[in-house]
Structure 1
Amino acid sequence: MAENTLATHNTGLTAFSNFRRNKGFDALWPPPANHVIDFIASLSLHDYSFATARSYVAAISYYCKLHVQTDPTNKFVVSKLLEGMRRLNKTRDKRLPITATLLHDLMSNLTPVCSSAFEAAMFRAAFSVAFHAFLRIGELTNTKTTVSLHIDDVQMKSHRVILRIAQSKTDQYGKGTKIMLNATCKSTCPVLSMKSYLQLRPNFPGAAFCHFDGRPLTRYQFSAVLKKVLAILCYPPNRNTSHSFRIGAATYAASIGLDDNTIKTAGRWKSGAFRTYIRSPLTQI
């Protein structure tokens, strides 16, 4: 199980355990259906989102199946309760896309917020690649224990950069995916920005995007610099996040007429969820 999924399941099981203890319910496994039904009702009354409730119920289901127990979450009433939550608390994703114009402005205004020319070149390349490769922030940045994009996973050609994404949200078994980015005539060209960055990057092993002392670029640092540049440009920092690059890539692809299958493949989506990423002018108000 992916680390993030495991953490979410543990959170859900803890919430369910606390709920049953507070209600005076016995900690039976498999839990009676009425325990799950009351749990969902409680989540709704406390204004939890449908997505959170669904993930918590999925945790209960997984735990039962793991221990070869009857799964009470398969009950018709459970599915209808979750459907009711989905209908009641529909919330529109208010995150805005990074547009092609905004990407240019971001990459052009990094110098004032970066401590050196090297740092500006690194973030310029990171921003460009995040957009053009439809990357999730976890595929680009690193944690204390893992390196998402290794320097050995980057191949530079004369007019192309090839990235190997070793593992991602939709690639739990680590088969890996190759992404090819071609050079463009635009100032935001991912090939040009990567070449400029790699010419300055010290010869350290490990993370492809790293600081001059070899420390890997983290999610927090990526988001912090993004917010600083957005502030300079007077853009709303809370509506443009690290995920806005992926949203922007899908929106831009749709705007230039790429078909659904091409967008789905480019973003490595396994379902029709990519459609929720495509913003129309009305959704950006």
Structure 2
Amino acid sequence: MTTIPRHYLFALASLFLGRDSSILQAITSQWSATASLSPPAASSVTPSGLTAPGASTSSRPHLPESDVSVPRTGPRSLQPSSTRAFPQLAALSAASDALVEDSVSERTKQTFKPGIAAYLEFCRSNSIVALSPTTENIVSFTTSLFVVRSLSLSSIRVYLAAVRYYLLCNGAAVDVLKSARLTAVLHGIERRQPPSALARRELSVDDLIHFRRYLQRSNYAYVDQTMLWASVTLAFYGLLRASEYLAPSIHTFDSQRALVWTAVSIAPDSVTLRLKVTKTRQSGDGGTVTVSSTGDETCPVLAMSEFRRTTAQACSAQPVFAFAEGNYLTPPCLNKILRQALNCNQVSSHSMRIGGATLLASRGASEAVIRRAGRWRSTASERYVRQVAGMPPQWTSSVASLRDRV
């Protein structure tokens, strides 16, 4: 068997991983740590992770019982004999661990913490090996979330996603999360759980018009009226997430994430946004979003053009949506204004994204088109579509059967 020189592998890693120093450091540390290793004896090494009494242990390191944080697998200290015999494979395995960990955003990792904690507690209480669950173990865990913890279906799905991430980070199999029995249990939960009275309501074109009338009657300065109108129409027709166009604080913003004027291009028939990051793309290039003219009074292109004409910040590197007094528009602020304008507590900054998806579906767009327009990477887009009058046949039955709303 031909051994690939270490310097050649390092050059390949540098080429593909670019400036990701954390992964390159993991590779170099693995080479240094394992360069003098000889193949280990056939006897197995017991890891310090979560195991049931008398159960066989995994050769991959994983979280100890007391650790309920999002898993972070560093350079491996325990390897199968075939891997330890070849340092290059150990180094690449450590690099793959780092890539798996970075497959979700830091915010998502925080969201996963309660799910991982609940799963580990369930395993401890029932003497289950956390990294070797059976299909029935996962089904029982899911049932306990609904029966014992009284979680909603949407929360249960997040917990299961957290378990999947935990298993992936520790090199365990995830096929147990794809069983037909688990799918049936989730469908049963869906049927038993009534639709939430607090589910967000979508915005419609009529709501947009009503919102504009409210702004015109309000005491907001004209420049602030144009700013609020532009933000709502752009989010509605662009299916924008709040984090993609609003600041997190009225006084501060993250220059690496915020939508600034220099990232906005306005043409006669479209507005193009160059997003720095999105929920599903955290690499610093969130891609572009092009919103076309609608040719009516809710046109986002006309709204953005008028807002740019009236604001003094139109050519700066400041957040696009800010009040004349200097405060940035935030999700809580926009939520309050929307609820006052529409006299409805079920609307929020997310209602525009829901409304935009529903509008596309009502006009005959396929699920694939909606997913692409909203930059979804899964079928989660289906949960954004609401039942409205005139819904095409291909959406009517599927939307009516969905109770797990966002």
**TM-score normalised by the chain length of structure 2:** 0.58
Q: Distance in 2 between matches of 1:79 and 1:273?
A: 16
* Seq. identity, %: 26
Which of 31, 37, 40 aligns to 2:142? It is 40
In structure 1, runs of 5+ residues without a counterpart are none
- Residues 104/75 of structure 1: CA separation in 2 closer, same or farther (3 Å cut): closer
Q: 1:57 matched to which residue of 2?
A: 160
Matched AA of 1:219: P
2:211 counterpart of 1:106: yes
Report the alpha carbon displacement of residue 223 of structure 1 after superposing the two structures with TM. 0.8
Q: 1:265 matched to which residue of 2?
A: 372
Q: Partner of 2:321: helix, strand, or coil?
A: coil
The answer (yes or no) to whether the contact 1:250–1:263 under 8 Å persists in 2 is: yes
2:113 counterpart of 1:6: no
Report the alpha carbon displacement of residue 133 of structure 1 after superposing the two structures with TM. 1.2
Q: 2:360 matched to which residue of 1?
A: 253
- Residues 10/113 of structure 1: CA separation in 2 closer, same or farther (3 Å cut): farther
Give deviations 1:223-246, integer Å, cap 9, x for gaps. 111111112xxxx332x3322212
Matched AA of 2:205: A
The answer (yes or no) to whether the contact 1:136–1:246 under 8 Å persists in 2 is: yes
Q: Which has the larger radius of gyration?
A: 2
Report the alpha carbon displacement of residue 168 of structure 1 after superposing the two structures with TM. 2.0
Q: Partner of 2:273: helix, strand, or coil?
A: strand
2:340 counterpart of 1:237: no
2:192 counterpart of 1:88: yes
2:242 counterpart of 1:162: no
Which of 181, 198, 202 aligns to 2:291? It is 181
Q: Distance in 1 between matches of 2:362 and 2:206?
A: 13
The answer (yes or no) to whether the contact 2:260–2:320 under 8 Å persists in 1 is: yes
In structure 2, runs of 5+ residues without a counterpart are 1-103, 392-398, 401-406
Report the alpha carbon displacement of residue 97 of structure 1 after superposing the two structures with TM. 2.6
**TM-score normalised by the chain length of structure 1:** 0.79
Q: When the two structures are aligned, how many residues end up with a matched partner?
A: 277
Report the alpha carbon displacement of residue 271 of structure 1 after superposing the two structures with TM. 4.3
Q: 1:15 matched to which residue of 2?
A: 118
Q: Partner of 1:109: helix, strand, or coil?
A: helix
250-259 vs 196-205, which moves further? 250-259
Q: Distance in 2 between matches of 1:167 and 1:201?
A: 25
Q: Distance in 1 between matches of 2:284 and 2:297?
A: 33
Q: Distance in 2 between matches of 1:68 and 1:262?
A: 34
1:206-217 superposed matches below 5 A: 206-217=318-329
- Residues 160/32 of structure 1: CA separation in 2 closer, same or farther (3 Å cut): closer
- Residues 185/74 of structure 1: CA separation in 2 closer, same or farther (3 Å cut): closer
The answer (yes or no) to whether the contact 1:125–1:194 under 8 Å persists in 2 is: yes
Q: Distance in 1 between matches of 2:175 and 2:371?
A: 34
Report the alpha carbon displacement of residue 91 of structure 1 after superposing the two structures with TM. 3.2
Matched AA of 1:30: L
Q: Partner of 1:180: helix, strand, or coil?
A: strand
2:251 counterpart of 1:141: no
Q: Distance in 1 between matches of 2:122 and 2:380?
A: 32
Q: Distance in 2 between matches of 1:260 and 1:30?
A: 35
Q: Partner of 1:155: helix, strand, or coil?
A: strand
Q: Distance in 1 between matches of 2:132 and 2:202?
A: 42
Q: Distance in 1 between matches of 2:196 and 2:112?
A: 25
Q: Distance in 2 between matches of 1:115 and 1:99?
A: 23
- Residues 99/60 of structure 1: CA separation in 2 closer, same or farther (3 Å cut): closer
2:260 counterpart of 1:150: yes
Which of 220, 230, 239 aligns to 2:332? It is 220
Q: Partner of 1:250: helix, strand, or coil?
A: helix
Q: Distance in 2 between matches of 1:81 and 1:253?
A: 31
Q: Which has the higher contact order (CA 8 A, sep 6+)?
A: 1
The answer (yes or no) to whether the contact 1:202–1:214 under 8 Å persists in 2 is: no
Q: Partner of 2:329: helix, strand, or coil?
A: coil
Report the alpha carbon displacement of residue 72 of structure 1 after superposing the two structures with TM. 8.8
Matched AA of 2:362: S
The answer (yes or no) to whether the contact 1:32–1:72 under 8 Å persists in 2 is: no
